Every structure is written in structure tokens, then in C-alpha cells.
Amino acid sequence: KCKTGPLDIVFVIDSSRSVRPFEFETMRRFMIDIIGSLDVGPNATRVGVIQYSSQVQNIFSLKTFFQRADMEKAINSIVPLAQGTMTGLAIQYAMNVAFSTTEGARPPHKKIPRVAIIVTDGRPQDRVSEVAAQARAAGIEIYAVGIQRADMSSLRAMASPPLEEHVFLVESFELIQQFGKQFQDKLCGADLCMERDHGCQHSCVSIPGSFYCECNPGYRLNADGKTCSPMDACADGRHGCEHQCVSAHGTYSCRCRTGYYLNQDKKTCTMIDYCGFGNHSCQHECVSVPSGHYCRCRSGFTLQADSKSCRANDLCNGVDHGCEFKCVSAEGSYRCICPDGQQLQADGKTCNKCGAGHVDLVMVIDGSKSVRPQNFELVKQFVNRIVDLLDVSPHGTRVGLVQYSSRVRTEFPLNKYATADEIKKAVMNVEYMEKGTMTGLALRHMVEHSFSELEGARPLSHNVPRIGLVFTDGRSQDDISEWARRAKESGIVMFAVGVGKAVEEELRAIASEPVEQHFSYSADFTTMTHLVENFKLNICPEEGKGEMEIRSPCECEALVQFQTNTVAILESLTERNILWGDVSLTRALAQMTARLEALEKQVANKN
């Protein structure tokens, strides 16, 4: 057997019409004998066979068979083409197709010799010298075997140098089998790995006339061509490991950082859920981290020294306080508060509003140049604090807004918005006008337009009070007396609010009687918050009852309603007492209940 190392051999067989059937059989025998002397296999010698005449036919490629029996069966099944002799075409096919890596040839860097054995009996009908030179330049070693009528010059044009070792002429097909034995010796040659001190660190591979060194899997050959170094399988960056790549013996494995475990894909990592073990003892929440876990408290609580339990540091965030406006935490307790101008009700949670009746309120604000932009923002906040006092709805209180300077502009009429939130948003979007102070013109606009039914004022027959509030910071540039008088004559209750350089004489002229209850003044924009409370105290008594029916408090229905409301308040106070354990509140509740029962008996006796 040929033991000099692996080869990639392709037989290129002439099956033109000049080759008679019995002669073709000797060519089959020649190929089978040569293959029989080779150590064939995927990692040893690979063999392919093509036949040609006027065309080329692939019998089997280098990757098709790795057992001699399979190769012999395929060779014995060849049917000759019996046409012309296109040898150049066959060499072209061998170079471009048969010796390609897709057809099973080993890559050039593996240094596996590529050998083409051309067997022909005639003169080529196409050019061979040029294509043969290209094949040799591509690294293919060509042996040219001619039989009987073969053209020697064509054989020499095809074969690799030295020609005396690669060109053979056999006188007859009968002698080709005997020639095959000689050719085997020529093809195999000496095993230089056995005869020389090759110096290969791992293994030596013999090839005809030479040898090369090869490294074991997981190692690469060094520049000296003999020694080997371990390959870093992680170095090319294609490993796909999420955390760490560990290289060993030419391969790699993925590893996770501390606190993570490797997933089933052997590449990605997932953090260990230490909280999932169920032994953390955290009162509120457990948080897993790569190094273990820690306890965390919910919002409004503070983690204690044991790093597990939690204590409420803001009861407003820790309980359902139910405060309508705002909750204020105290040490171990909390209380509800209301906006400026509103008072906390008996339930300790809700705030009172001017909601007992309905009004149509139009606010007329000064947007002149003297106000200045930053103060105008304070004016808008003042307006919104007044809105907070009101029970705004289409059937309750309606609010309109007018701004004036040298001209007058309706920002929104009485019928524009149905909720306090809508009004407050619209107020904050109002743009500052600047320029002059035409207060008289603004009063006229309010009387003629703002309180018209077209802009949302309810008819006078509905007995809904109309209230006008004028806000100014300086002397008017026009006369105000006529339209201030007309406003009051038309039934509008006028309030005048002055700031800074506002003229008291003009404010009094605008205000309704009694004047002291209907005009207010503040020296500075930043200190005018107290005016809201003044306005509330004066506007709430003016709320109209609309068309509501007024009942006698002594009627049975009124008494029942009073009793129901009182019981509800008592129940609320009792719940608070149970929650906080106030002894003084307990006594007060008992006394109040007793007095109510006594009043009920008195009413019953009178009835």
C-alpha cells in the first residue's frame, strides 16, 4: 500500500469513439489497480473520476466515496461516451470543478497534493497547452499517459515537469496493466517521514517526494513549520459567550460571572434569584443581586437596623388617609389640611367650598404693562385659588375670564368650561397682553358681553347671582364711573381688588355696597394671598339658591335629614377615636350623643 500520505487524485479518462470496448475495459482495470494501492478515506487519499469525449461527464467526485468497493462499483458501471476527443475541455473541467473544495478537494492551506492522471489514445481536437499551464499554475500535478496512437507532443504539453517523470507512452492497451505497477511506484515514491529525521513536534505527513508537519487538534503550526502552539479558540470573538470564554485544547466553553448560572444554550447567563430560595425574611420586598440579596421597604417606610423589618416614616404614604386636598404627616400620626380659603369639615378629611348655591362669576384682570410678566403669573395663581373655592359645574357655579390693557379680550366665557380643572388649565395658558390700563372699557365689555346669555350667563329669572371681580394694579386711563354704575344697576355684585399703585377712589367706585365688604387691597403681588380668604368670606354669603325650595327646619323631612347627617359625622368621629384611642374624644362623643337624644325627645313631645 501507498503510505506516503493523503492525496487528492482525479482520473481523466478518454472514452472517445476510437477506444474500442475491450480496450476501455483495460482502462477500468488500470484505475481499479491504482486505487487498490492507495490508502483511501476522508482523511487519507480521496479519488474522483471523470470521462470525456466531445463533452465531460463526472463519474464521481472527491467527496462521493471513501471505500474502495464503492469506487470499483462506480468504475465498472461507466458507459463510454464514444464521441470526439476534447482533452482541453476535460482539463478545464478538472481544474474548475473536480478540484474545487465544493466537490471535495482539501483547501490549499492543508498542502494536500492535487494529482490529475490523464489517459488518452489519440490527438486532442482542441487546444491543451494553455489550459494545462493554467491547471499546473493552480497547483495541480498532471500525469499524461498515452496509449498506441497518442500524440507525444500533446502529452508533453499537458504534463507537469520534469517530463521524464510525468509523461508515459504505452504501446498497447494490453500493456497498460503492467505499466500500472510501475506507475504505482512512481506515484507513491519513498516515505520521507520514515527515512528522515523530520523534526515534527506532533506528526509528519508524507507526500510524493516530500513531507510536511501537522499539529494535533487544538494546536496550530508555528512559523518554523515544525513546532505547535495551543490555539486560543476564544480569540476570534465568535464564541458568543455572554460573560466569559474559556479556551482549552483548541476548543472553548462559556462561563458565567459569580452570581449567575449558565443557561441551556451554553452561552447566555441568568442571575441567580436568591430571593426565590424563600429564606430572606424581608418584611416588604427582597431584591436579588449577583452577590446575594438585600431587603427593601415600600415607599413611605424606612429599613430598620436588622436590615429586614420596615417602619413607616410617612403615614400619609403608608395608609389610605382619604384627605381631599393634602395629608400632612406628624410623629406617629397624620392630619388633613385644606387650601387657603377653605376649612376642614367635621369628618376631618373634606374641605368646604362655596357650594351651597350657584353663581355666575366673571373675573376681569389687569394685563397692563405696569403689572410685569412675573407678577402676571402671580395674578393667574390668585385666580386659580379663587376657582378652588367654587363648586364648578354647568348647573352650579360658572366662571368666565376677561383680560384688559389698552383693549379688552375674553379669555373664556361663562359657558366654555364645565370643571374647575379645565378652568385652571385655561387660566395658566393665558398670555400677558401688556400696554395701557383701560379699566372703564373692560367694565363696559363685562356688562355688554360677559354677562350675556349668549356667553353663558343664566337668565335673570333663574335668580342666579351675577358677580364681577375686577383686579387692577394702577390708575385707569379712561373713565370708570359710568360703567361701574351701570354694572351695579344691572344686578351685578361687584368686587374690586387692588394691588400696588391701585387707586382706592377707583376701587371704591367699582365695589358694591357695603363697599368695605366688596373691595380689597394688597401693597405687593407676593403678599396678596390673604385677599382670597376675604373674597371667600364675602362671596359665599352672596350665593344664590337658584330655584331651590326653602324648607322649615322644623318639618319632619328636615329633622330626618339633620339626624342622618349628624349620625354620619358621629360615626366618622367614632372610627377616628377607635383608631387613635383619644380618651377626651370618647367623653365628648358620649356627651354629644346624650344631648342629641334629649333634643329628639323634646321635638317628639312638642309634635
Q: Identify the CATH number of the domain in which residue 390 sits.
A: 3.40.50.410
* Cα-to-chain-centroid distance, residue 204: 56
Give the pLDDT confidence score for residue 89 in this predicted structure. Answer: 97
Q: Is 546 left (phi over 0), alpha (psi -120 to 50) or beta?
A: left
Amino acid found at 372:
R
* Cα-to-chain-centroid distance, residue 574: 52
Helices then strands, each counted (H, E), the chain:
18, 26
In a domain? residue 292: no
Q: Which residues of the chain have pLDDT under 70?
A: 1-5, 172-191, 208-209, 300, 314, 318, 330-332, 340-343, 352-357, 529-530, 533-534, 536-589, 603-604, 606-607
Alpha-carbon span 451 to 465, nearest angstrom:
11
C-alpha cell at 35: 486505487
C-alpha cell at 544: 344664590
Give the pLDDT confidence score for residue 219 in this predicted structure. Answer: 83
Please, is 44 exposed, middle or buried when counting C-beta atoms within 10 Å of its C-beta (0-12, 13-18, 19+)? middle
Closest CA to 113 of 160, 156, 162: 160
Using the CB atoms, write b or e for 21-37: b if 16+ within 10 Å. eebbebbbbbbeebbeb
Give the pLDDT confidence score for residue 347 in this predicted structure. Answer: 81
Q: First vs last Cα of the chain: how many Å apart?
A: 135
In a domain? residue 80: yes
Alpha-carbon span 403 to 488, nearest angstrom:
20
C-alpha angle 301-307-310 in degrees, rounded to nearest 5: 25
Give the pLDDT confidence score for residue 174 in this predicted structure. Answer: 63
In a domain? residue 366: yes
Q: Are 502 and 599 part of one and the same domain?
A: no
Closest CA to 446 of 510, 531, 522: 510
Question: What is residue 160's DSSP assignment?
Answer: P
Alpha-carbon span 362 to 467, nearest angstrom:
6
Rounded to the nearest 5°, which phi and psi values hold at 61?
A: -95, 180
Give the pLDDT confidence score for residue 157 in this predicted structure. Answer: 94
Residue 544's contacts (CB-CB under 8 Å, 6 or more residues apart) are 357, 358, 359, 463, 464, 465
Closest CA to 571 of 589, 557, 584: 589
C-alpha cell at 250: 483548541
Question: What is residue 525's DSSP assignment?
Answer: G
Find where cell 463519474 sits: 59
In a domain? residue 260: no
Q: Are 568 and 487 part of one and the same domain?
A: no
Rounded to the nearest 5°, which phi and psi values hold at 248?
A: -160, 125
In a domain? residue 438: yes
Which of 161, 187, 213 represents a domain boundary (last residue)? 187
Query: Cβ(6)–Cβ(46) under 8 Å?
Result: yes
In a domain? residue 283: no
Find where cell 351685578 sits: 492
Give the pLDDT confidence score for residue 546 in this predicted structure. Answer: 38
Alpha-carbon span 513 to 527, nearest angstrom:
26
pLDDT in tens, 462-496: 888 999 999 998 899 999 999 999 999 999 999 99
* Cα-to-chain-centroid distance, residue 474: 57
In a domain? residue 390: yes
Which of 488, 514, 539 represents a domain boundary (last residue)? 539
Q: Are 561 and 474 part of one and the same domain?
A: no
Q: Is 310 helix (H, G, I), strand (E, B) or coil?
A: strand
Query: Cβ(217)–Cβ(198) under 8 Å?
Result: no
Find where cell 368686587 sits: 495
Alpha-carbon span 122 to 92, nearest angstrom:
18
Q: Are 502 and 560 part of one and the same domain?
A: no
pLDDT in tens, 73-116: 999 999 999 999 999 999 999 999 999 999 999 999 888 889 99
Please, is 535 exposed, middle or buried when counting C-beta atoms within 10 Å of its C-beta (0-12, 13-18, 19+)? buried
Q: Are 487 and 573 part of one and the same domain?
A: no
Give the pLDDT confidence score for residue 502 in this predicted structure. Answer: 87
Tally of domains in the chain: 3
Q: Are 522 and 410 part of one and the same domain?
A: yes
Q: Per DSSP, what are the bridge partners of residue 361?
A: 399, 467
Which of 187, 210, 238 represents a domain boundary (last residue)? 187
Q: Is 379 helix (H, G, I), strand (E, B) or coil?
A: helix
Question: Within a 10 A sphere around the Cβ of 529, how many other Cβ atoms?
Answer: 14
Q: Are 451 and 579 part of one and the same domain?
A: no
In a domain? residue 280: no
C-alpha angle 572-573-579 in degrees, rounded to nearest 5: 95
Q: Are 395 and 532 part of one and the same domain?
A: yes
pLDDT in tens, 497-535: 988 888 999 999 999 998 888 888 887 777 776 677 667
Alpha-carbon span 536 to 514, nearest angstrom:
16
Q: Are 444 and 561 part of one and the same domain?
A: no
Q: Are 379 and 517 part of one and the same domain?
A: yes
Q: Are strands 360-366 and 398-404 parallel, antiparallel or unpaired?
A: parallel
Alpha-carbon span 257 to 269, nearest angstrom:
8
Q: Are 463 and 525 part of one and the same domain?
A: yes
Q: Are 584 and 483 part of one and the same domain?
A: no
Residue-range definition of the domain harbouring residue 55? 7-187
